[in-house]
Chain A
C-alpha cells in the first residue's frame, strides 16, 4: 500500500507541476494578448483619423439631407469655402456648405446643448463651432446600399456584355422597384441601421469645425461613442446609452484612447504633375490645347489623364497636426 501511495503522490505532484506551468504559460499568453490589445486600440484610433478626414472631405460637397432653408432633400454642397464666392459682392456667401442657390446648409444659431445645462450654446454641424459625433459601428445595411454582386452582365460569345440586368442593383429586394414610391425603395433608402453585434463600442471620431476650413478631429478607440463628457451625454439626452450611470461612462472613458488633430481643408484637387503632361504630351503646341481637368478623351497610349485618375472631387487635406493636449473646444 505504501508503494502505491508513493507512486500516486509522485504522479500527482508531476501532474500538478505540469498544470501549474501550463497555467503560467497561458496566463503569460493572456498578458501578451492584453498588451497587443493596447496596440490594436491605438491603431484603431489612428484609423479614425483617416475616417474623419474622409468625412470632412465628403461632407462639404455631398451635402445634407435637409436644407434648413427650404426643406428640400439632400442638397449638394459646394465646399467649406464656397468655390463660387470670387467677386467682392460674393463674400457674404463665402462660408459653406451652400446649395446651388447659395443658401446656407447650416445655421449659426445655437442649437446644441453641449454642457448639459439645458441651454443650447453651440450651433449644429456643419456650422462653424458645430460638432459632428460619429460612432463607427457597422450597420446591418447602410442607407442606399447596393448589392455586392460584381458582374450582373456576363460577357457574351462576341465579347460584348449582354446588358440585360441593371447594374448595380439594390442591397434589399430582388431588383429595383418600378417606382420610387414603392415600399421597397423606402427600405433601400433607409437601410437597416441596427448595429452589428460586436462592432459597437470599438471606435469613433468627432469633428469640430473651428473655422471656415479648419477642423479639430478627435479620434477615439473605446465605448464612449464620441461623447466628450457626461455633461454632453446629458445635454444630448443620451444617458440611456450608458444605463444612466455616470460612473460607467467615467470607467469607459478612462479606458479609452483619444487623439486630437487639427487639419485644414482645401478645395484644390488635381496634381502638381499636370505640368508634366503639358510638357510631355503637348510639347510645342499652344497652351489652349491642354486638356480640361476632367478630360476623358485621352490620346490613346499617351495620356494618363482621365476622370478616373483624379484624386477626388471633394478637395484635399492641406495639413494634419497632432495636438499633444486636448484643445479648449473639440
Chain B
C-alpha cells in the first residue's frame, strides 16, 4: 500500500493545532504558577495575620509592650518616678512610688478592702469639693492621710486626740501618687470616692477649706476626676513616637489627664488624635522579616472610658506589593494592670 504523504494544508493545520495546544499549555502553566504564587503569598499572609492575632492575645496578658524586663530588650520606662514631685507611673514599684510621708503603706489585703470592713468606709462630706462652710464638720481631723491632725483655733484650742481613720485616705492618695489615674481607677473598688483629706498638705497638694484634696483640680483642668466626663478616656502611655523623648515629669502629667473622646470632642479638637497618637502601642510582629512578606504590626490601646477598662487590639498588615493596609480590630479581656504588676512583683512592700 502506498504511503500517503501529508498535504500542505494538513501540515499547516497540524502545526496550528500544535501551537494552540502549546499556547494553551503555556498559559495553563503560567496561570497555575501565578495561582500557586498567590496561594503561597495569601498563605503566608494568613499565617502572619494568625501569628499577629495570637501575639495580640498574648500582649493582653503580658503587657510586654508597656513594660518588658527581658534582657536585651528591656523597656522599663513606665517604672520611673518623678522624684521632685513624688509621682510615679503605672509600672513604678509601689515601694518607690508611694508617698514618703504617708502614714499607711499600700495594703492590698482583700479582707481589709472588703466592703464590710470598717476601714474601707468613706468618712466625709462628698459635697465638699465645691466649697464648704464646715457645717458638717472638718473630717480632716480624723480622716487624714497623715497622723491624726491636731486641728483647732486660738479661741478654742486644739480638738485633742481623735480616733485615727487614715487608712482609706492614705490608700487613695498613695495610689494616685504612685500609679496615675488609670492605676488609681483600677486598684480602687468601683464604689470608691476619689478624694481624701489632708490637714497638713504640702506645697504641691492644696486642699479646700475642709481639708479635701484639691489635687486633681489644680494639676490639670481636664484631669479633674470628680467632674469626670464618662465619654472621655484615660489611658496608659506606651512607648510611642509621640511620647519619645518625653521626660519623666511629662509622662507623669500624661498619666494624669484625660482625653475628650466623646461628645466633648468638638470642644477639645485634637484630643482624639492626641489620644490615639500617645495611647496606641504599636510594634512589628517580625522586625527582621523578608521585605517580600506582608508587614504585620500589633497595636494595643488601654484606656478607661464609659466606666470600663478597654483593651483595644488591632492587627494591621500591609501588602508589600500594593502597599494596601488592612486591619483586624477587637477588644480583649485578660490580665489587668494590677495583675501585670503583681506578676512582676511591683506591689511588694
Q: Which residues of A contact B (CB under 8 A)?
A: 3, 7, 10-11, 13-14, 17-18, 21, 24-25, 28-29, 31-32, 35-36, 38-39, 42-43, 46, 49-50, 81-86, 211-214, 261-262, 264, 266-276, 278-280, 282-287, 290, 311, 316, 318-322, 324
A271-B334 contact given A25-B39, A28-B43, CB 8 Å threshold: no
Task: With both chains docked as a complex, state the minimum distance between the C-beta of B31 and any C-beta of chain A, in angstroms.
Answer: 9
- State A70–B64 Cα separation when bound (angstroms): 51
Binds A, one of B66-74, B96-104, B185-193, B267-275: B185-193
A322 adjacent to B335 (CB under 8 Å): yes
A residues less than 8 Å from B192 (CB atoms):
268, 272
Contact (A42, B226) CB under 8 Å given A85-B116, A213-B110, A322-B335: no
Decide if B127 touches A279 in the complex (CB within 8 Å): yes
Q: With an 8 A cutoff between CB atoms, is B134 at the interface?
A: no
Residues of B216-249 whose CB lies within 8 A of A: 225-228, 230
Most buried by A among B62, B136, B190: B190
**A213 to B227 Cα, complex, angstroms:** 32
Q: Which one of A25, A272, A316 contacts B36 once the chains associate, using CB atoms below 8 Å?
A: A25
A213 to B32: give the CA distance in the assembly, Å: 62
* Residues A7 and B227 in contact in the complex (CB < 8 Å), given A28-B43, A322-B334: no
Q: Of B47, B116, B188, B343, which is within 8 A of A32 by CB?
A: B47
Contact B24 A278 (CB under 8 A): no
Q: Which residues of B contact A318 (CB under 8 A)?
A: 110, 113, 189, 338
Name the one of A38, A266, A272, A321 contacting B339, with C-beta atoms under 8 angstroms: A321
A276 to B307 CA separation, bound complex (whole angstroms):
12
Q: Does B253 make an interface contact (CB < 8 A)?
A: no
Question: Which of B36, B190, B227, B340 meets A21, CB within 8 Å?
Answer: B36
Chain B, 55-88, contact with A by CB distance < 8 Å: what is the 0/1 string?
A: 0010011100000000000000000000000000
Residue from the set A28, A36, A39, A322 with the largest chain B CB neighbour count within 10 Å = A322
Do A319 and B334 have beta carbons less than 8 Å apart? no
Contact B57 A214 (CB under 8 A): no
* Complex-state Cα separation, A127 to B21, whole angstroms: 79
16 A–B contacts, CB within 8 A, in A order: A3-B14, A21-B36, A31-B43, A32-B47, A81-B110, A211-B110, A261-B334, A261-B335, A266-B114, A266-B115, A268-B189, A269-B190, A271-B190, A276-B227, A276-B230, A319-B186
Query: Do A272 and B125 touch across chains, with their CB atoms under 8 A apart?
Result: no
Residue ranges of B at the interface with A (Cβ–Cβ < 8 Å) = 14, 17, 21, 24-25, 28-29, 32, 35-36, 39-40, 42-43, 46-47, 50, 53-54, 57, 60-62, 110-111, 113-116, 118, 125-127, 129-131, 136, 185-186, 188-195, 225-228, 230, 307, 332-336, 338-340, 342-343
The answer to whether residues A311 and B115 also contact, given A266-B110, A290-B126 and a CB cut-off of 8 A, is: no
Contact for A42 among B17, B57, B62, B339, CB less than 8 A: B57
Q: Decide if B190 touches A279 in the complex (CB within 8 Å).
A: no
Partner of B191, one of A50, A211, A270, A320: A270
Q: What are the residues of chain A within 8 A of B32 when measuring CB–CB?
A: 17-18, 21
Docked pose: A293 CA to B46 CA in angstroms: 50
Contact B127 A282 (CB under 8 A): yes
Q: Are B116 and A86 interface neighbours, CB within 8 A?
A: yes
Q: Inside 8 A of A36's CB, which chain B residues have their CB?
A: 46, 50
Contact yes or no, A18 B28, CB < 8 A? yes
Q: What residue of chain A has the Cβ atom nearest to residue B335's Cβ?
A: A322
Q: Are A81 and B36 in contact, with the CB atoms below 8 A? A: no
Q: Closest B-chain residue to A214, C-beta based?
A: B110
Q: A39-B53, A268-B189, A287-B125 are in contact. List 14 more A-B contacts (CB 8 A).
A: A3-B14, A11-B21, A25-B39, A35-B47, A43-B53, A81-B114, A86-B118, A269-B190, A272-B228, A273-B307, A276-B227, A284-B127, A320-B335, A321-B343
Q: Quick check: A273 and B230 within 8 Å, CB to CB? A: yes
Distance from A121 Cβ to chain B, minimum over Cβ atoms (Å): 26
Whether the Cβ atoms of B29 and A320 lie closer than 8 Å is no
Residues of B within 8 A of A39 (CB): 50, 53-54
Question: Looking at B28, B126, B191, which has the most chain A CB atoms within 10 Å of its CB?
Answer: B191
Nearest CB of chain A from residue B159's CB, rounded to whole Å = 22
Quick check: B126 and A10 within 8 Å, CB to CB? no
CA distance A80 to B137 in the complex (A): 36
Find the residue from A32, A268, A319 having the highest chain B CB count within 10 A.
A319
Contact indicator A269/B334 (Cβ below 8 Å): no
Which B residues lie within 8 Å of A211 (CB)? 110
How many whole Å from B301's CB to the nearest CB in chain A?
A: 18
Residue in B17, B54, B110, B230 with the greatest tally of chain A CB atoms within 10 Å: B110
Closest beta carbon of chain B to A234's beta carbon, Å: 33
Question: What are the residues of chain A within 8 A of B36 when measuring CB–CB?
Answer: 21, 24-25
Chain A residue at minimum C-beta to C-beta distance from B117: A86
A316–B110 Cα distance when bound, in Å, is: 13
CB within 8 Å for A35 and B62 given contacts A267-B114, A280-B227: no
Select from chain B the residue with minimum beta-carbon distance to A211: B110
B116 and A316 form a contact (CB under 8 A): no
A81 touches B116 (CB 8 A): yes
Q: Please measure, in the bound complex, the distance between the C-alpha atom of A320 and the C-alpha atom of B186, giving whole angstroms.
A: 11
Closest B residue to A287 by beta carbon equals B127
